[in-house]
Amino acid sequence: MEPSEMNANAHSFDVTIQDFPDRVIQSSHTQPVLVDFWATWCGPCKTLTPILEQLAEDYGGAFLLAKVDIDKEAALANHHGVRSVPTVLLYKGGQPVDGFTGAQPEGAIRALLAHHGIEPPPISALDEGLQALESGRLDAAQRLLETALAEEPGNTQATVGLARLAAARGDVKAARDQLEALTEVQRQSPEAGAVSAWLELNAFIADGPPPQALQDMLQKWPDDLEAGFRLAIWRLLAGDAEASVADLLAIMQKDRQFRDDGARKALLLVFDYLGASHPLVRKARGRMAMLLN
């Protein structure tokens, strides 16, 4: 895919010799403009341009990105003395004030921008908290998400984030309390649905035998569907989703009447818990459909 075909954002655009004076020179009096000279045949351009586009989005309008195809805009490239691509120029106050030639790492580009006082917007407590949650830094996530909720009581993302955090810690009560704080509409989000599914799955194994005891039971009685069902849930919550799904599909194949089609119903909860985009979900749905036919 060529740079001009890549998904641009609100802060990046293609520019020609006709609109360069307005969109770059004039605009740079109020907002810095990074000009990316590139070509379709340029390999390094295909690496650099996506980095620049992502930075333009991340910086949220702190600078604009203007992209120039030198094969279509040779006169514009010649006017700027472009001899090789990629070449990047930074315009401020109607003039080029800095730049570089060749692909550069993201850190070097950020340093150049910072040198000219161009910084990304500060990250919010909510965004930082969600990032901490995704990376498993649960204590930091709790502190930041609670801060976000204090700043905006009732915030859906913060509340669901705290529910997900409670689920990650295995705290059923805290997860349920956070979900109950949501409105019916807020509970419709996939993230809230995942926590709700987690709570229902936990209910299957509450006050039941631990995993090792279930394994011992299955060694003695391999056809014990109840033990197999509970062990499948334990495996999911311990992180072995593939084994869990395989076990539930096997139970579904053996006996659809077990727990009133309980294996299929549990699989639907597993799908909600994992999320529709999870590759295992797509595969398991196909297998389930075959069993239902």
Per residue in 218-248, pLDDT (tens digit) is 999 999 999 999 999 999 999 999 999 999 9
Q: Give the pLDDT band of residue 2 (cuts 50, 70, 90).
A: very low
CA angle at 226 for the pair 214 and 273, rounded to the nearest 5°: 90
The mean pLDDT value for 107-112 works out to 97
Which ranges in the chain are annotated with CATH 3.40.30.10? 3-115
How far is Cα 108 from Cα 50, in angstroms, rounded to an integer?
15
Tell me which residue of 269, 253, 271, 259 sits closest to 226, measured CA to CA: 259
The whole-chain average pLDDT of the chain stands at 94
pLDDT the model gives residue 6:
42
Out of 45, 70, 126, 281, pick the active-site residue: 45
Is residue 1 scored above 70 in pLDDT?
A: no
Assign a CATH topology to domain 3-115: Glutaredoxin (3.40.30)
Which ranges in the chain are annotated with CATH 1.25.40.10? 208-292
Q: Does residue 42 have an active-site annotation?
A: yes
Return the percent helix, strand and coil in the chain, to nearest 5: 60, 10, 30
Is residue 81 scored above 90 in pLDDT?
A: yes
Q: Give the pLDDT band of residue 8 (cuts 50, 70, 90).
A: low
Q: Does 222 sit behind a cis peptide bond, omega within 30 degrees of 0 on the bond before it?
A: no
Assign a CATH topology to domain 208-292: 1.25.40
Tokens of 105: 């790492």
pLDDT the model gives residue 293:
82
The mean pLDDT value for 204-220 works out to 95
The mean pLDDT value for 106-113 works out to 97
Q: Does residue 45 have an active-site annotation?
A: yes
How far is Cα 157 from Cα 161, in angstroms, rounded to an integer?
6
Decide if domain 125-189 falls under CATH 3.30.70: no
Out of 15, 24, 35, 42, pick the active-site residue: 42
pLDDT the model gives residue 10:
81
